[in-house]
Structure formats: structure tokens, C-alpha cells
Amino acid sequence: MGISNCILVLSLLLLGIINSISCEKTPCEGCKDLALGILKGLDQSKNKNFGGGDTAWEEKRDLKFRTSETRLVEILETACTKDNYQCNKILEEREDDIEKWYKDLQDKEALQDYLCVKTAKVCCPENTFGEDCEECPKGDSDSICFGRGKCEGAGDKQGSGKCICEAGYAGDLCNECDERYFKSFSNDTYVMCTLCHETCQTCTGGNATECETCRTGYREEHDTDDEKAFKCVDMNECVEQRDLCPVGQYCTNTVGSYKCEDCSESCTSCFGPSRRHCYNCTSGSIMRIPYMCQDIDECASGAICLGMYEVCVNTPGHYKCECARFFRRDPVSGQCQPDPAIYSRYVPERPGKKTEKKSEDGEQCYGDECHDRKDHGASRHSVAGSSDDGDSLSDNEIKKLIFAVVICLLGTAAAKGSMFWTLMFFLSFFSAGLWWASDKTDKIYESFSHPHFKQHQEL
Ligand SMILES: *[C@@H]1O[C@H](CO)[C@@H](O)[C@H](O)[C@H]1NC(C)=O
Ligand SMILES: *[C@@H]1O[C@H](CO)[C@@H](O)[C@H](O)[C@H]1NC(C)=O
Ligand SMILES: *[C@@H]1O[C@H](CO)[C@@H](O)[C@H](O)[C@H]1NC(C)=O
């Protein structure tokens, strides 16, 4: 046998040991499995017999088959699963008893009682437990554990006989009420527990006014007329206790408790989720209006990002120096250089003249080369403008809106049947389409109409 085979066998053995330790059955459980296995085997083989034959013989044969040795051997072969150690052990030890039951007692006695309680003596009769088969606890009640629980290990010599109570019940006999339950009815032999109102920890009844003590997260609120009467009301921990949450978080009340949640990125301490709920602002933002942290627009100072063709882009709490449109940062020199992709068509004429000035939409442009590019700068919208999120209509959008209204009016006039207005309607519709198309091809268009390009051609 090779070493690998050896290891395999060893690990299988180990597995078997671990298995038998972790889920070993008690002898009684093994015996019950055996009894069930035998009964199942009997049931499955009850319609079989020794094989075909004429009817006269059959009844006699069937009688014989019922108690035949062959049938029993077959049944016992499959009665226990292989891994059920206790089952197999009892089968081995009690084969004679089983055979006796099979031959003589099948109709007279239940197999489990006969085998497990009387002969093998590994189980106890129902509702008894332990080595001496004591009665499960009842108290004065007629039922085990007051009918509100189970007797642990009942019927097993290894059982503990403790009452395991249902929800709401407690005590050795399950005749007490658990926390948050009250006795809604009880006499010497019977008990019924009912859940308190959700605000009570202990109570005398199910009503909100019947709390004895309040649950955590709730506090007593006394009646104005009757000093003794009170209700339990949700406590706002955030108001009643201070400093529940760490710096950088704020407190929100929940039913029966509270939660801590993160402040907005703009503040270091706050009382709510947004940047309008700040006590202190993070560096990079400033409080101009009480409790509101506004991002500082570093780009507005104009004294940063002074590299050639660089633009300042404001970010929350910070700013970035990026290359202007159609320029790219050269990885070697770190300087902004014309983007080779459009270099052939777009050559800036006087890069030395560096009087920086920003157009309204934040586009970078140089000296007298500045021109109105508002229509084309939508993607870089509001870089240096209002740092807030409110969007206003651009000129371009207003123009489009007016155009749409005009087309609508023309359309209405045309609908009356006038040839002239119909013509006007189609004409304006067509030109609007053209305009829209030219807007889309903005880049191509711009590269030809741009002053740089023109100057270049003139030279
Ligand atoms: C206790 O209450 C139960 C349930 O109502 C009832 O069946 C039983 O007779 C009562 N026992 C006594 C002693 O009053
Ligand atoms: C709870 O108590 C109030 C006042 O005592 C009463 O009006 C109400 O009906 C009670 N509710 C229940 C479910 O017993
Ligand atoms: C935050 O602001 C409060 C006043 O609103 C002030 O007392 C506190 O010292 C500030 N904390 C920090 C860390 O600046």
C-alpha cells in the first residue's frame, strides 16, 4: 500500500471519529432507529412472497412467509444505516429478542416498547426520563411542563427531563411568564401569558397604560390628572442625551433607540445630513450663511495654474490645474502642449502673450484671441461661475426655445390652410434642423471657423 493510500485511510478514519463524536446518537435513539428500520422493512416486504404458485397453496405459504427466516434476514440487513453505530450495536446484541418479537409478538406489542424499553432497556416509557425513568415535571397541572413546553429527553435514559418552554413562558415548570409578558389567566393547573404593549418592559395588562416599567429607549410620561398613571413614550435620545455620536456624525432618533449618521463632506461637525446642517466646515469650504458650508472657489483668485495653456478647475474642497481645450499634458516636460490629434489644424498663434482671462463659462483663452465660445463650452459649464448647483438656461438654449415657439406659431397658422404660412412653416422647420445639425458638429465647424485657423490662412 502506497503512502498516499495510507494517508487516505488515516484521514477517512479521522473523519469517521470526528463524525461519530459530533453527532453520536444516544443508545435509545439508535434503538428507535432500529425499530423504525425493521417496521419499514416489514411494510415494504408485506406484498412479496416466495414466488408464484397456485392459490390453494398461497394462503398457507403467506402465513409461513409472514414469519419466515429469509424475510427477517433480508429486513435486518437494511434496518440500520452503516454509520449508525448504536443501531447496529443493538441489532447485534438483541437479535434473539427481535426474532422472538417477529415470530410471536408482531400483533401483540409495539416493537419500540418491546425492544428499546423492555428488553434492551435503553429507553424509558413516554413522558419519563433518566436512568430510573422518572416522570417529566408537571407540578399540579395535568400536562407535562404545564402544557407550555417540552420535557427534554423524554423517553430516553439519557434525557435531562428539563422543561424547555415556549415563547412567553418561563420557570422550571413553564408556569411563569417571561420578560415582556403578563399572566392574562392562571389557576393552579393552567397558565396563559400574553405579550405586553410594545412600550412596556413589565406590565399588568396589554394596554399602553398598563406598563409597570418602560422598555429601554422609552420613558415614563405621567398623566396630568392622575400622578400615578403613566404611559411609556419614545425617548428622543438625541435631545435628552448629548454627545451620543462621535465628531463627524450626527444623531437621529429612531423608535426605541437612535442612530449616528455621517455628516456631509463639507463639514466636520453637523446636526443633519446636508451641507446646510454644519457647525464647522472642512478646509476648502467656508460658512458665509449660518450652518451652510460653501465650497471655496480657489480658481476665482486667478493666481493659480499659471503654466502655459493651463486652466484652473474648481473641485469640492480643492482645485485642479488642467490643460486647456485641445491641449494635453506632455508626460516628459509636464507642460501643456497642443494635442497632436488636432495639431495640424489648430495651431495657437501667439503663445508668448499670456494675459490670462477667463470667459464666463470658464474656458481658457488668451488676450485678444478671446471670442465668444459660450455656445460651445457646455461641457465645462460653470467652472468659475456660481459654484452652486442651480442650473440657468444658456443663451443657446433660450434661442432654441424661441425658435421652437416660432415654429409652433407658424405651424398653427399653417394648419388653417394658407399656402404661404405652410411654406413658412416648412422653411423654418428645415432651417431649425440645419442649425441643430451644425450645433452637433460643433467641433468640426469650430476648427474651420476658429480665428486661429483664419489667421493661419491669411498669413
Ligand atoms: C383552570 O383553568 C382551565 C382553563 O380555563 C380549566 O380547564 C381548569 O378546569 C381550571 N382548573 C381549576 C382548578 O380551576
Ligand atoms: C386601554 O385603556 C384605555 C383607558 O384606560 C381604554 O380606553 C382602552 O379601551 C384600553 N384598551 C384596551 C385594548 O384594553
Ligand atoms: C465647531 O464649532 C463650534 C461652534 O459652533 C465650536 O465651539 C467648536 O470649537 C468648533 N469645533 C472645531 C473642531 O472647530
User: Ligand 3 pocket, 271 CB below 6 A?
Assistant: no
pTM over 0.75: no
Which residue has its alpha carbon closest to ligand 3 atom 14? 280
> Nearest bound ligand to CA 281?
3
**DSSP for 39-94?**
HHHHHHHTT--SS---HHHHHHHHHHHHT-HHHHHHHHHTTS-TT-HHHHHHHHHT
291 and 318 share a domain?
no
Lowest mean per-residue pLDDT among 20-24, 293-297, 413-417, 423-427: 20-24
> Nearest bound ligand to CA 205?
2
Q: For residue 421, tell me if it sits in a domain.
A: no
35 and 113 share a domain?
yes
Integer Cα distance of 457 and 459 in angstroms? 5
109 and 44 share a domain?
yes
Say if residues 87 and 34 touch (Cβ distance below 8 Å).
yes
Q: For residue 223, tell me if it sits in a domain.
A: yes
Which of 380, 397, 429 finishes a domain? 380
User: Ligand 3 pocket, 252 CB below 6 A?
Assistant: no
Full residue range of the structural domain in which residue 247 is found:
236-296
Amino acid in the structure at residue 360: E
> Nearest bound ligand to CA 175?
1
119 and 204 share a domain?
no
112 and 47 share a domain?
yes
Angle of CA points 185, 187, 188, to nearest 5°? 150
Which residue has its alpha carbon closest to ligand 3 atom 10? 280
Residue scoring higher pLDDT (59 or 286)? 286
Integer Cα distance of 191 and 184 in angstroms? 8
Average pLDDT, the chain: 77
Q: For residue 222, tell me if it sits in a domain.
A: yes
- Say which CATH number the domain at 152 has: 2.10.25
Mean pLDDT: which of 339-348, 380-389, 394-403 is highest? Answer: 339-348
101 and 189 share a domain?
no
Integer Cα distance of 125 and 116 in angstroms? 9
CA of 205 to the centre of ligand 2 (A): 10
CA of 207 to the centre of ligand 2 (A): 6
329 and 284 share a domain?
no
Lowest mean per-residue pLDDT among 156-165, 172-181, 332-341: 332-341
Q: For residue 357, tell me if it sits in a domain.
A: yes
Say if residues 267 and 293 touch (Cβ distance below 8 Å).
yes
114 and 101 share a domain?
yes
User: Ligand 1 pocket, 189 CB below 6 A?
Assistant: yes
370 and 325 share a domain?
yes
Integer Cα distance of 169 and 171 in angstroms? 7
User: Ligand 1 pocket, 147 CB below 6 A?
Assistant: no
Q: 166-218 pLDDT, tens per residue?
A: 999 999 999 999 999 999 999 999 999 999 999 999 999 999 999 999 999 99
CA of 189 to the centre of ligand 1 (A): 6
User: Ligand 2 pocket, 81 CB below 6 A?
Assistant: no
User: Ligand 1 pocket, 186 CB below 6 A?
Assistant: no
Angle of CA points 257, 259, 261, to nearest 5°? 170
116 and 34 share a domain?
yes
29 and 92 share a domain?
yes
> Nearest bound ligand to CA 208?
2
Long-range contacts of 294-297 (CB under 8 A, 24+ apart): 294/266, 294/387, 294/388, 295/266, 295/387, 297/384, 297/387
> Nearest bound ligand to CA 268?
3
Q: Please count the structural domains in the chain.
A: 5
Choosing from 280, 282, 285, 292 the residue with most ligand 3 atoms within 8 A of its CB, the one to mutate for a pocket test is 280
Which residue has its alpha carbon closest to ligand 1 atom 14? 187
276 and 248 share a domain?
yes
CA of 251 to the centre of ligand 3 (A): 17
Which of 195, 222, 257 finishes a domain? 195
Integer Cα distance of 15 and 186 in angstroms? 52
Q: For residue 30, tell me if it sits in a domain.
A: yes
Q: 250-269 pLDDT, tens per residue?
A: 999 999 899 999 999 999 99
Sign for the CA dihedral angle at 30, 34, 37, 43 comes to negative
Which of 275, 296, 317 finishes a domain? 296
Q: If phi over 0 gives left and psi between -120 and 50 gives alpha, with beta otherwise, what is residue 52?
A: beta
**DSSP for 133-202?**
TEEPP-TTSSSGGGGSEEETTTTBTT----EEEPTTEESTTS-EEPTTEEEEEEETTEEEEEEPPTTEEE
Angle of CA points 77, 109, 82, to nearest 5°? 20
User: Ligand 1 pocket, 227 CB below 6 A?
Assistant: no
Q: For residue 455, tell me if it sits in a domain.
A: no
